[in-house]
């Protein structure tokens, strides 16, 4: 068997054709142009996301949120320690304090209690990561709670494009939601992202921040003659060229997710049988989701041996996040005496198996067989 890559960026024929057509059209590659507008229309139609900004990464979308809510040095932002670096750094760079919260084993996301433990009078925002494209089941309650306490809820939906909680798409709960179209995601533009602004109060300000801190959108709609600098912003826009690659994938999102669901189930059917006492598989019950990744939670002290064993057979499985509250930059926000018990335990046990649309059933069967061998014979604690 040839090497099995952890990720192969999605490439569909329609994307290549659309990029070629776009380049041949000689339209300005910067944009925004018809590809960006078409994506905005499509996500509006599919998910009812009304105010959508296509960005050059999910990190940019998070940074826009941090600028929009105007964080002060005394403000606190709650973030799971089990998260991507920029989930936290996008807010830290705005000068506020971070409060890292713990997670639950069954879904690797915080419980309501984990979040409430971090609330104080200074809490300005809660950042919720929809890990694996899964959803916590108390999102409606959390939204109500945030509204009552005047705390902003920001969904880090980097991995969650196409996922739901019951019938409501992830990305429609928070004041803001940030998606990633990085090449490791289900659909992508190389690097790319999307900000959904659900809290209308911020729309005008986000428009300024998004376009380098200028009021150019007022000039574009003939409200002013020349644009100028009005607030702190940056160059966050996705280019039209990148959007021309992404657009056909948005149109085909259901087919892309269906393929992933078949791959996911192929894994599940084989691994569920051998998981007992060896590992657990976090599941997303009751809601439609996007099958972004396939995660195992191993027992204590197994991970290094497990990854090495798979590597011997050219299977590239990977770990997930490293703990932010213990990182060089993150630990200054974290009191030494505090403990994030589950994060400390499970962060060392998470493994992500290869998952991408080019994966074959053959490859999955091979991976599962090797995992079975590891637990039945090869592995000694």
- Where do the H-state alpha helices sit in the chain? 13-25, 34-47, 58-68, 85-92, 112-116, 139-149, 203-210, 216-220, 240-251, 253-275, 303-312, 341-346, 361-373
H or E stretch including 178? strand 176-180
Whichever of 31 and 193 has its CB closer to ligand PLP, that residue is 193
User: Which residues, 82 to 101, sit near ligand PLP by CB under 6 A?
Assistant: 83-84, 86-87
By CB under 6 A, tell whether 159 contacts ligand PLP. yes
Query: Total residues at the site for ligand PLP (CB under 6 A)?
Result: 14
Interface pick for ligand PLP out of 76, 102, 114, 156 (rule CB under 6 A): 156
The one among 97, 99, 182, 205 contacting ligand PLP by CB under 6 A: 182
- As a whole number of angstroms, the distance between CA 360 and CA 266 comes to 10
**Rule CB under 6 A: is residue 59 a binding residue for ligand PLP?**
yes
Pick the closer one to ligand PLP by CB: 188 or 266: 188
Residues 6+ apart with CB under 8 A from 241: 19, 22, 23, 29, 30, 31
357, containing H or E segment: none
To ligand PLP, the closest distance from the beta carbon of 59 in angstroms equals 3
Q: Min. distance of Cβ 228 from ligand PLP in angstroms?
A: 29
Q: What's the closest the beta carbon of residue 128 comes to ligand PLP, in angstroms?
A: 10
Instruction: Give, for 298, the enclosing helix (H) or strand (E).
Output: strand 294-298
- Are 246 and 18 spatial neighbours (Cβ–Cβ below 8 Å)? no
Q: How far is the CB of 218 from ligand PLP (least distance, A)?
A: 28
What are residue 177's DSSP bridge partners? 155, 196
To ligand PLP, the closest distance from the beta carbon of 60 in angstroms equals: 7
Is residue 7 a contact point for ligand PLP (CB under 6 A)? Answer: no
φ/ψ (deg, to 5) at 232 = -80, 125
Q: How far is the CB of 354 from ligand PLP (least distance, A)?
A: 16
Q: Which lies closer to ligand PLP via its Cβ, residue 49 or residue 375?
A: 49
Q: Which of residues 310-369 bind ligand PLP (CB under 6 A)?
A: none
Residue 124 CB, nearest distance to ligand PLP (Å)? 19
- Near ligand PLP in 121-150, by CB under 6 A: 129
Q: Are the CB atoms for 67 and 94 separated by under 8 Å?
A: yes
Q: Report d(CA 71, CA 125) in Å as an integer.
A: 9
Per-residue string for binding with ligand PLP, 232-271, x by CB under 6 A? ----------------------------------------
CA 154 – CA 174 distance, rounded (Å): 5
The distance of closest approach from Cβ of residue 35 to ligand PLP in the complex, given in angstroms and rounded to an integer, is: 18
Nearest to 352 by CA among 238, 267, 243: 267
Site residues, ligand PLP (CB under 6 A): 57-59, 83-84, 86-87, 129, 156, 158-159, 180, 182, 193
């Amino acid at each position: 068997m040839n090497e099995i890559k952890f990720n192969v960026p999605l490439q569909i024929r329609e994307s290549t054709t659309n990029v070629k057509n776009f380049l041949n059209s000689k339209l300005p590659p910067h944009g925004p142009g018809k590809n960006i507008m078409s994506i905005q229309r499509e996500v509006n139609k599919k998910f009812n996301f009304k105010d959508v900004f296509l960005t050059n990464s999910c990190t940019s979308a998070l940074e826009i949120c941090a600028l929009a809510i105007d964080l002060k040095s005394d403000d606190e932002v709650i973030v799971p320690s089990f998260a991507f670096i920029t989930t936290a750094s996008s807010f830290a760079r705005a000068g506020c304090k971070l409060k890292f919260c713990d997670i639950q084993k069954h879904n690797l996301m915080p419980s309501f209690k984990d979040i409430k433990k971090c609330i104080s009078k200074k809490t300005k925002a809660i950042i919720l990561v929809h890990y694996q494209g899964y959803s916590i089941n108390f999102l409606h309650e959390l939204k109500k709670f945030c509204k009552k306490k005047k705390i902003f809820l920001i969904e880090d939906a980097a991995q969650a494009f196409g996922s739901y909680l019951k019938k409501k798409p992830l990305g429609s709960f928070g004041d803001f939601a940030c998606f990633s179209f990085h090449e490791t995601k289900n659909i992508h533009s190389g690097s790319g992202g999307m900000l959904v602004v659900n809290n209308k109060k911020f729309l005008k300000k986000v428009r300024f921040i998004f376009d380098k801190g200028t009021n150019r959108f007022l000039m574009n709609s003939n409200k002013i003659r020349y644009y100028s600098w009005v607030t702190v912003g940056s160059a966050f826009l996705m280019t039209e060229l990148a959007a021309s690659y992404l657009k056909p994938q948005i149109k085909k999102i259901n087919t892309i997710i269906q393929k992933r669901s078949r791959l996911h189930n192929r894994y599940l059917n084989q691994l569920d049988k051998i998981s007992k006492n060896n590992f657990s598989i976090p599941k997303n019950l009751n809601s439609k989701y996007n099958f972004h990744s396939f995660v195992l939670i191993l027992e204590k002290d197994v991970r290094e041996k497990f990854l090495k064993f798979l590597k011997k057979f050219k299977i590239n499985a990977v770990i997930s996040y490293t703990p932010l509250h213990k990182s060089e930059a993150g630990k200054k926000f974290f009191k030494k005496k505090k403990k994030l018990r589950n994060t400390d335990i499970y962060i060392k046990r998470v493994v992500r198996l290869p998952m991408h649309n080019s994966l074959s059933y053959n490859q999955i069967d091979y991976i599962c067989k090797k995992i079975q061998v590891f637990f039945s014979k090869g592995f000694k604690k």
